[in-house]
Amino acid sequence: MGKDFLPPTTDFLFKKLFIIHPELLADFLQAILGRPATDFQGLKILNPELLPDFSNDKHGRLDLKIQLKSKELIDFEVQVKSQKSIWKRLYYYQSKMYSQQLTKGDKYDNLKPVTSILVMRYPIIKTNNHYHHNFHHYDNVNDVFPPRLLEIHTIEFSKTRVPDGTQRGNWTLFFNIRNMVDLMKVAKLSPSLELACKVVKDLNADNETRASVELIEGIRRGIIPMLSDAELNGRLKGLKEGLKEGLEKGLEKGLEKGRKEGLEKGLEKGRKELASRLITKGYPDAEIIEIMGTTKKWLSNFKKSLNQN
C-alpha cells in the first residue's frame, strides 16, 4: 500500500535531517542569515534529542538549538499551524534562551547574541508578499541601531512557489514540498538541496522514522492519550532505544520514582495503541513487527484480542 508522504515540515523529520547532515544546516543558516560560510563552520547542536518533551508543553516542541563557534546561539523551528500568540511565544523562548546563558555571579559581558529563526506555512506579515523578514531593535526616530543582541528571522514559505535565483529562496521552496513530484523539482535547484531531498526521500522509506512520527502526532492529537511522566518517558524511551531496552530502562526509572505499576501499564498500553494505529493504517504484519521490535506471536495474539473485543 502507498504511505502518506512526510514533508520536510514534519518537525521530527526536519530535525533528523539536520542532525544527520550538519553541513546542510550550515548551508541553510548561511542562506537565511546572509552571513559568510565561515561563521557556521564548527556549529554545535545543543539539543540533539529527536523525541519531544511533553512534560512542559503539550504540543512537544521540537526545535534546534545551535551554538556557533563565536558562542552565538540560534533557535530554529518549523510551524505549520497558525497560533494567535506566536509573537509572544517567540519572544518568550528567545528571552529565556538569552537569560539562561548566565548563572549567579556571571558578568553581563558573557552574554552572546541570540537569533530566532521561525519557518512557517501561514503568513504572519500580511502587509506585503515578502517571504523573509528580519526583526531587531531599532530607534526609528533617530535612525540608530543598537548592538544586535536579539534578532528574529521569519520565513513564510507559502508566499513563494517559484525559484528566485537565491539559496534562501531554494530553502524556502524546500519547506514547500508536499509530495515526491515537488521533491524531484527542488532537488534540481542546488547540490545542497539535492542532498537534502535525497535524505527526505530516504527518511520517508525508514520505518523507524514513520513510527516516531506516528507516536508524536498521536499524542499531540489525543489519539494516544497524555500519560503520567513515568508512563510517557517509558514509552518514548521504548521507541527511541528499541522496545526491549526501552522497557527495561523505563522500568528502572519508574522503580526509582516509585511508579512501577503505572509505568508497566503505560508502556504496555502504549505498545498496544501503536500496534492498533499501524494495523488501522494498513501496515503489513512484517512491517509492524519490524517497527515495534516485537514477535509474530505477540502480534497474532494482539489481533485475536482485537477481534474478541
Question: Using CB atoms within 10 A of its CB, is residue 164 exposed (0-12), middle (13-18) or buried (19+)?
Answer: exposed
pLDDT at 5 (0 to 100): 93
Confidence of residue 292 (pLDDT cuts 50, 70, 90): low
Examine the pLDDT at 250 and tell me if it is beyond 70. Answer: no
Report, as an integer, the average pLDDT of 168-172: 96
Instruction: Return the higher-pLDDT residue of 107 and 298.
Output: 107
Give the length of the chain: 309
pLDDT at 257 (0 to 100): 47
- Measure the CA angle with vertex 260, ends 278 and 301; round to 5°: 35
Confidence of residue 81 (pLDDT cuts 50, 70, 90): confident
**CB 140 within 8 Å of CB 131:** no
Q: Three-class SS of residue 154?
A: strand
Instruction: Return the higher-pLDDT residue of 11 and 109.
Output: 109
Q: CA-to-CA distance for 196 and 190, rounded, in angstroms? A: 10
| pLDDT 10s digits, 198-224 | 999 999 998 888 888 887 777 666 655
In the chain, domain spans: 11-204, 207-301
Q: In what order do the strands lie in the sheet with 73-79?
A: 44-45, 64-67, 73-79, 114-120, 150-156, 132-136
Determine the straight-line distance between the first and last CA of the chain, rounded to whole angstroms.
26
Examine the pLDDT at 46 and tell me if it is beyond 80. Answer: yes
Report, as an integer, the average pLDDT of 253-264: 45
- Measure the CA angle with vertex 7, ends 267 and 178; round to 5°: 145
**CB 90 within 8 Å of CB 61:** no
Question: Which helix (H) or strand (E) element contains residue 209?
Answer: helix 207-221
Q: Spell out the alpha helix ranges (H) of 64-190.
A: 86-99, 167-174, 180-186
pLDDT at 276 (0 to 100): 80
Examine the pLDDT at 56 and tell me if it is beyond 80. Answer: no
Q: CA-to-CA distance for 123 and 129, rounded, in angstroms? A: 9
Report, as an integer, the average pLDDT of 280-290: 76
Per-position DSSP letters for 108-132, written without gaps between them: GGG---EEEEEEESS-S--S---SE
pLDDT at 275 (0 to 100): 77
Share of residues in the chain with pLDDT > 90 (%): 51
pLDDT at 234 (0 to 100): 58
Of the candidate ranges 35-49, 193-207, 294-308, the one whose mean pLDDT is the lowest: 294-308
pLDDT at 233 (0 to 100): 55
pLDDT at 287 (0 to 100): 74
Q: CA-to-CA distance for 92 and 197, rounded, in angstroms? A: 33
pLDDT at 299 (0 to 100): 85
Average of per-residue pLDDT values in the chain: 82
- Rounded to 10 deg, the angle between the 285-292 and 260-280 helix axes is 150
Q: CA-to-CA distance for 196 and 205, rounded, in angstroms? A: 15
